[in-house]
Amino acid sequence: MEEEYHVFQSPAEGDQIRVKKIRTVPESPELTVMIRPERIRLSKEAPACKETNQLKAVLEKLTFTGNMVDYFLRFQENTLRVQSTPPITAQEGDQVFLTFSQDDCVLMDD
């Protein structure tokens, strides 16, 4: 499985992200992984599946936008926006878990 994916270690303890190999990775110290906000799943509990990307974040704000909920999450020094339906039972300040497929990630040069 590893040869099909690039594996990047996050500065956070234990977090790593797998991205499908579709091109050569540049020798840059800074890369950006892009994921559509609706492709990320949120939960209050740590997922059991280890085959998907998993990150821990803190819920900063949530906004109901009709049939979706916008979640604004703090991951390290970054704010992430995730869209989800149905809403999870987290409150502002709670730790949440983000999961997303390696195949949904797009690697961008900074």
Q: How confident is the model at residue 92 (pLDDT cuts 50, 70, 90)?
A: very high
The full set of domain ranges for the chain reads 2-109
> CATH 2.40.50.140: does it fit domain 2-109?
yes
Q: Which tokens is 108 given?
A: 């961008």
**Measuring CA to CA, which residue among 104, 101, 96, 109 is closest to residue 49?**
101
In 3D space, the residue among 57, 53, 35 whose CA is nearest the CA of residue 44 turns out to be 57
Q: Tell me the per-residue pLDDT of 52-65, one tens digit each, with 9 for 90 and over.
A: 888 899 999 998 88
> How sure is the predictor about 1, in pLDDT bands with cuts at 50, 70 and 90?
very low
Name the more confident of 20 and 93: 93
